[in-house]
Every structure is written in C-alpha cells, then in structure tokens.
Structure 1
Amino acid sequence: MERTGGGRGRRATMRDVAARAGVSRSLVSLVFRGEPGASPGTRDKVLRAADEIGYRLDPTARLLRSSRSRLLGVVLDTRNAFHADLVDGIYASAEETGYEVSLSALAPTRDERKAVERLIAYRSEALILLGPETTAEELSELGRRIPVVTIGRGATAETVDSVHIAEMDGARQSVDHLVGLGHRAIVHIDGGRASMAVERRRGYRQAMRRRGLAEEIRVIPGDHNETSGAEAARTLLAGGTLPTAVIAYNDRCATGLLDAFLRAGVRVPADVSVVGCDDSSLARLAHISLTTLSQDAERMAELAVQAAVERLDGGRGKPRDVVISPHLVVRASTARPRTAG
C-alpha cells in the first residue's frame, strides 16, 4: 500500500476498501487474489473503491501470508555487462510464468555463499546462478536443498540444471574466423577460475591443432575481468613481437586488452585483431565494436527460467543440461593481419 486513505493520516487497508465498496473484507481479498467468487460487477466496484481511497496491494505482506513466495532468486555480478543482459531476460520470462525475481549481487565483501543464503532467507523457491564459481560439490549440496539452475556453466553437479553454450564449437568459430582472415599467430587469454574457462581453452587448442597451427598455440593466464585483459596486454607488449590476433576469455577481458593497447599506441585491428565472448551490450558500443561470440542472453534466460519453473510447478526431478549453439558476430575489431598482402 502506497497512499494514505480516508483522510485519516494512515495507509488505506483492505478493510477500508470493503467499507467503501459495501462488501465483506473476505470478498475484497478474493478480488485481489484473482480467485473466483465475486461477480464482474462486484469486482469492478471493489477495484473502483480501492482506486478512490488510494489502496495498493502490498506484495511483501501477501508473500508473508502465502505458503509460496513464487520468487526466483538470481545471483549476479553487477560489474558484468553480460549478467545485466541475462537479468533483463530473466525478468521478462519470469513475468510470463507468474514469478517474481529477487536479485543478490556479488561484491568484494560478499561471496556467492552469502549471496545465495540471503536469497534463501528471503524465501526464494529456486535459484538461478549466473556464471557461478562454486565447486561442483557445493553446487550438488545446494541443489539438494533447493532447485538450482546455472547459466554459463556446464553440467558439473548431479542435482543442478544448467544452460550454457557449446564452448568447444565457439572456440572453433573464433579460430576459424581469424585463420580465414589469414592469421596464424593467435593467442588465447585464459579465463582462470571463471566458468567454462577449461572448455574454452581446450577448444582453442583443439581448433589451432586442427588448422595445423599447433606450434602457434599460446595461452596467457587471465581472468574474467578488465584487469586481466590489461595485464595480458602488458605481457604481450613486453614480449617484443606482438601476435596478429588475440582471443579473450570474454568481452570484459577483451575490453581491458583494447584499452591497454590503445594507451600503448597499438592499433586494433590494424596491428592486432581481437575477439571476445558474450556479445554483451559493452561489445556493441560503437567505439568498441568488438567481434565476439554471441551466447544469446535472451534465450539462455528463457531456458533457465523454464527449467526452474518445471522443477517447481511440473515436479521434474532429474537434472537437465541445455546446450545452445553460439554464433560469431563479426564487427570492427578483426581484419586481415598486418603481414598479409
């Protein structure tokens, strides 16, 4: 309830609506719950009375009285632009299925465990974890307590649903694109402990070998943030001859790399081509225009919500591993190598 009603200096209540409409409080409750039992004329009268006195249903109080919260808890990193894209999609899909969304963000002083526990305390019925770094054992244990869906991480826990891209195929597309332009010296910046880093690294190595470039394989330690990209750029600059192309773990890493190259006078793509992964809103900015692997955030969000609702409303017990085929989005950060005619 948001406004005071009846000129009495307090918020209007359901009892006030009943008095205004000339009906019982239980009938007013039926109307606001959307349940049968009131005629169309009575419903109109109740809603009109509520509007006249400024009554608004308090969703928090309603949740406290209900045996179900219909809340989907989402753990995200607010510094990750791709997570923001996923949350947009989760909100849209949850609304279509009659669920609300509760967010819990990571911070330097707030790890995944704390973020998860807070969502459970707020009565979330299921959890959607974006790119979690929690161990497989911890995920399995969590999945025994509450339905859990991970986005951006493969099936590593026996009790948890997962939605992710085919990482090996994505790495192949990135390498094939660069080789098709004429590149051979292609470096990969690793994702460290980040979700799916092992698969992306393995896919890069496999694709390079398949292209006859085993001797050109080079993996630089990194992470999933801008700082790791900048550090990788400094490593490459200190090494003398630059590679002609770099595949970064994700768009954030690629952005840090681009920034460091710009400061050092390295031209992208004239001197070095750069490929990211995520196709986040960051990659689509005109001054960045990053060639990147699209994971289709909207579709991933839709599938994650669907998996959670199937557990809650459909009674599905067996975990599901949903794999999406990625596709490379070519923009201005890649071109023929500087040595090519």
Structure 2
Amino acid sequence: MSAIMLPRVVRIGGGALAETGEALLQLGLTRPAIITDKFLLQTGMVERLQAVLGKSGLHASVFSDTVPDPTSDCVAAASDFVREAGADCVIGFGGGSPIDTAKAAAILAPRPGTMRALKAPHQEMTPGLPIIAIPTTAGTGSEATRFTIVTDTATDEKMLCPGLAYLPTLAIVDYELTLTMPKRLTADTGIDALTHAIEAYVSRLANPFSDSMAIAAMQAIWRGLRTAYHEPGNRAAREQVMLGAMQAGMAFSNASVCLVHGMSRPIGAHFHVAHGLSNAMLLPAITRWSIVGNVARYADCARAMGIAPASAADARAAAALVEALRGLNEDLAVPSPKDYGLDAARWRQLLPLMAEQALASGSPGNNPRVPEAAEIVALYEDVWG
C-alpha cells in the first residue's frame, strides 16, 4: 500500500504568477513573507511578485539573503525574519535554494529549533506555516515535494530533511518565469529533473502513481531539454521542461531518490558545486553501475524516452540509456569534476567521508543495486575524470 502526498493546490501554465494573490486569499492567507535571493531582487522579479500581491490587497515582506545550497545559518536568519514579520505563510520564490529555505523557515518560525534535529531518518509531520512555492527554474521539483535540503554550517553535511510538513500548500508553476534562464542553469536544472524522474522510477519504493509521473516527466524533459538549452526563448520547450520538472518532483516525493542523489549531496556540501550539476556529473556512470540491479526498469526508461525501440531487449535498451545520458552531458557541456576545476588532492582525501555521508542520507538504500562504502568510493574515483 502506498500513501500519495501532493500539494493541496497547483496553478500551472503561462501567466499563472498573476493568480498568486487570488490563490492566497482563497486559502485565507493575508500576511505573506517572501523568501528569495539577491538576483531575483535585482532583476525586478520580486517587485513584480509584490505588485501581483498588491493587486489583491496583500503586502509581502521580503527576505532576500538566501544562499545557494541553503545553510543552517541562513535558515535560522530566514526563520527569525518570518517570525518577526508576523507572517501567516511563507512564499519560496526562486530556484531550489530559496524554496528549500522557505520550507525550513516555515517549520522553524513558529517553533524554533535546529535543522540538525530534523534530518533523516526523522520525519517532520507537524505542519508549520503554509508554504507557497513559486519556482523560477525548471529542475528541482521542490514545489511538489515533501523534502528540504539544508547544509549544516558547522559540519558541511548536506542534510536531507523529510516529512509531510515540507509539502507546499500551494504551487504556482509558470513556465514564463524560466524564459530568461541562462544555458548553464537550464542544463543543470533540467538534468536534475531528469535524474529525479529516472531515480523515482527505478527506486525500490516506486509505486504505480510515482511510475506514471516519472514516465510522463522523462518524456517531457527528454523532448524539451535540448531545445530549451539551444533555443532559450522557445516557449513550447520551456513549458515541457517545466511541466516535466514538476511531475518528476511528484514522482520522487512519493518514491524517493537513489544513489545519484546520495552521492551528489556531499559534492555540493564540500565543493559547493550546484546540485543539478553534481547530479549531471554522476548520472551516466551511476546508471551504468546500477543497471544490473533492475535491468527491466532502466530499459523501460529508455523506451519511454524513445532512446530504444519498444521491441528492444532489456539489456540493449538499458545500455542505450547509458549512452544517451552520456550524449546528453556532451550536448549540454556538462564537465567532469576534474574539468570543472575541483582540487584533486582534496577530492581524494574526502572520498571516505563523502561515501559515509552518502550512505547516511538513506538514498543509496533505495537504489536497485545497493552499494557498500568502498563501492561508492570507487564510483567517485570513476566519475572524477
């Protein structure tokens, strides 16, 4: 038996941002706090959101000091801001980092504590303030998930914090907000979403609902991502990738992610590589290593995306998937950790700790082929160059 968890309300489509104030009022919410970043503040996007809310008679206070890969210190500052503003809801506006910060602040503002106390395997089920998620990138799927990721400032551990309390009450999914995304961000967030879909489908926790969302997400992202990368203003491609990212979020929120994400988080924590990019670095090699655990499921992914014909044998289709993922990385200029300029000596030194942290996250345990720490170290070494 599976329990399916989704946002209460999703407003989706071009121009959906204009409905934010109306949607808040329908939920009885009148004192929003916006959690965002300096970039969106400087480009006028936050002012645009405030104007939309103003048309519904709503005034929003703004916290714009979020950082990439949210830290526990940043979350504490955001929580204090929300509490002092007397907000009755929190709007995460931006990419995955502002939305994850907003989720954490919504939990800690009404009942102060620490994110370390909330990390997996703890499940936070007691609601905090209502969360409104408005993504401006097409990738994290955080607008549809029951997770937030926060890096412990003291230890550099990237903590997975799960629970129903993190599930947004309202998601505003407007692909028009992604039309100005730069190519690197388009590539990294798009492959992040594709990773969510693939890992949700092959996860040991997969179920019929997550399967349907994962397959739909793979198809949409595979159709649209290359075009969105090479033709940033292509509205149809942007809409496909945005829809796929949300569907992938729904899939992995209800089936969890696997080894790619488990290994990705320590790279982000220790080397400050963007989450989507570290996933992209890992995806082909980890997929190749994992296939033996469930060849049929990986073959399904290849067939769903049109990488292999419907008549292809499982082994052939799964092998084609690996080659197609490598080809996608080449087309979207995804560097290896070495080519990205990470310090080789520090990489080698940290491998045992990164492997330990990957396993501690719990995600590798969902993988079709579950690794030991030494196997994760070997995979990190394989991915390096």
Question: Which TM-score applies when normalising by structure 2?
Answer: 0.31
Which structure: greater helix fraction? 2
Which structure: greater strand fraction? 1
Larger Rg: 1
